[in-house]
Amino acid sequence: MKLQTILNRLQKLHPKEIDLSLDRVKNLCNKLGDPQKKLKYISVVGTNGKYSTIQAVRSILKSANINCNIYTSPHIQKINERFIFNDEEISDDSLSNLLIEVENVNSGEQITYFEILTAAYFYHASKFKDKINIIESGLFHRFDATNIIDNNLSSIVTSIGLDHLDWLPKNEQNIEKIVYEKTSSLLKSNITVSKQSTEEILKLISKSIQNNQSKKIIYKDHFNYSLNENNFIYYEDEYGGIKVPKPNLLGNFQIDNCAAAIATIRNLQLGVKDENIKEGVTKIKSIARLQEITSGKLKNICKNNRLYLDGSHNPLGAKALNEYLNTLNCNKHLILGMMSNKNHEEYISYFNNISSITTIDVPNQPNAITGEELKKKLNKYPNVNYKKSIEEALNSLITDKDDLIMMTGSLYLAGELLNRN
């Protein structure tokens, strides 16, 4: 309760949830002694795959006995997930004390919630100066609060697609502008560019970073992989080839994220051996990304049906999720809840061979579209129903044994499912 009280106060320090500027977070960090200038970083930017790529980097480094600090957002179940120090999630008490200290230094100055959390992360991370900090940059990297560091070890560009268009001017709501926002201000060190959904996007990224003096490690040009029939990956780059087990993550798109992680680590020359890579990719911890729920209250409602959740919430994520679903020979039922600022019709258009869609309200999220409104938007699809809650939706499904139930559309919805389960 103490931690939640503090978080409630911090959310009131600025009238807007997002206000694209770096001045406020720079000023606060300056008051804190500019802790961000004293650390080592791997920065991760992109639209999709950032979390999985970070977890792959983390797992490989851990297998080499290299513990990291990690900053990600949003969290799924609790805010502590955003703050990892020396490979340990921060405790409630430690986070409360940290936020109070930073809040006092801020002295009531106007600052967004994300900005003050970011400053708090940098401040605490400075107590672990020998650790590599893996930093996720959200929304558009150029004005993201994490983009106040002066140098880093490497930047990773994951898959880029259309998302958060409501934050762009009407005449700039396109992939060219998104690529520019995410890649034009990358630091000069090493840049790894992951496999993209189209050659056009890969070319746009390459063009955007062509004048950046970093070493470029671009998919196909500088690293590649192939998935072999006996379930291993053959990865290859300038340092040679390596046979790697298939990652312990569902969906072949996750191999793209692991390949980018491997490319980054091999180029950094951190003393990570091939054996560490092989072990690391089989021990990746991931939640709400094609995660199967095998036990718990909600799983009990499903009985003989498989229950999955996936936090995908944009067209690129929908496409990747549908590709995975099409590899399964069973009936599939979607339970869908989304935020109001998403392109709902485009998101659902990527799915095919779906037996039913049930829209629901996303609990505790005032910025979500109601399940009833979402159903109206999807009325051209057959067998679309609305139920108020997760439990009602699960109980309403007419399924056969071994049918698959996929809950998707929002990371916030994924967190609610995990908490209720």
Report the alpha-carbon distance of residue 69 to residue 334 in Å, rounded: 36
Q: What is the model's pLDDT at position 20?
A: 85
Q: Is residue 332 part of a domain?
A: yes
Q: At which of 280, 306, 341 does a domain end?
A: 280
| CATH number for position 71 | 3.40.1190.10
Q: What is the model's pLDDT at position 97?
A: 98
Which tokens is 304 given? Answer: 């003989």
Same domain, yes or no: 123 and 263: yes
> Judging by DSSP bridges, how do beta strands 154-157 and 40-45 pair with one another?
parallel
Q: Is residue 93 part of a domain?
A: yes
Same domain, yes or no: 183 and 307: no
Q: Is residue 285 part of a domain?
A: no
- What contacts 159, CB < 8 A, 6 or more positions away? 46, 47, 48, 49, 194, 195, 196, 197, 253, 256, 316
**DSSP line for 20-54:** --SHHHHHHHHHTT-GGGG-EEEEEESSBSHHHHH
- Average pLDDT by stretches of 10, the chain with 421 residues: 94 91 97 96 96 98 98 95 98 98 97 97 96 91 93 96 78 88 95 96 96 97 92 95 95 94 97 98 94 95 94 92 95 96 93 95 93 94 94 95 95 93 93
Q: What is the model's pLDDT at position 186?
A: 96
Q: What is the model's pLDDT at position 171?
A: 83
Q: Is residue 329 part of a domain?
A: yes
Report the alpha-carbon distance of residue 19 to residue 373 in Å, rounded: 28
Report the alpha-carbon distance of residue 367 to residue 196 in Å, rounded: 30
Q: Which DSSP category does 145 fall into?
A: T
Q: Is residue 286 part of a domain?
A: no
Q: At which of 241, 259, 280 does a domain end?
A: 280
Q: At which of 218, 246, 280 does a domain end?
A: 280
Same domain, yes or no: 269 and 336: no
Q: Is residue 314 part of a domain?
A: yes
Crossing angle of helices 113-125 and 2-10, in 10° steps, is: 120
- What contacts 228, CB < 8 A, 6 or more positions away? 234
Q: What is the model's pLDDT at position 342?
A: 92
Q: What is the model's pLDDT at position 161?
A: 87
Q: Is residue 300 part of a domain?
A: yes
Residue 337 belongs to domain spanning = 291-420
Same domain, yes or no: 333 and 199: no
Q: What is the model's pLDDT at position 18?
A: 84
Same domain, yes or no: 364 and 260: no
End-to-end distance of the chain based on CA atoms, in angstroms?
21
- Location of structure tokens 């890969």: 202
Same domain, yes or no: 372 and 229: no
Q: What is this structure's pTM?
A: 0.94
State the chain's mean pLDDT as an integer.
95
| CATH number for position 333 | 3.90.190.20
Alpha carbon dihedral 247, 250, 253, 256, in 10-degree steps, equals -10
53: helix, coil or strand?
A: helix
SS (H, E, C) 358-390: EECCCCCCCCECCHHHHHHHCCCCCCEEECCCH
Same domain, yes or no: 267 and 308: no
Same domain, yes or no: 11 and 105: yes
Q: What value does the CA radius of gyration of the chain take, rounded to a whole number of Å?
A: 21
- What contacts 274, CB < 8 A, 6 or more positions away? 242
* pLDDT tens by residue, 89-108: 999 999 999 999 999 999 99
Under 8 Å between Cβ of 220 and 246 = no
Q: Which DSSP category does 230 fall into?
A: T
Same domain, yes or no: 275 and 299: no
Which residue, among 149, 150, 152, 158, has the nearest Cα to 178 in the 3D structure?
A: 158
- Location of structure tokens 């802790």: 35
Same domain, yes or no: 206 and 272: yes
Same domain, yes or no: 316 and 173: no
Task: Please tell me the total count of domains within the chain.
Answer: 2
Q: What is the model's pLDDT at position 123?
A: 98
Report the alpha-carbon distance of residue 190 to residue 153 in Å, rounded: 7
Burial profile 335-345: b = 16 or more Cβ within 10 angstroms, e = fewer: bbbbbeebbbe
Same domain, yes or no: 297 and 275: no
Q: Which DSSP category does 235 fall into?
A: E
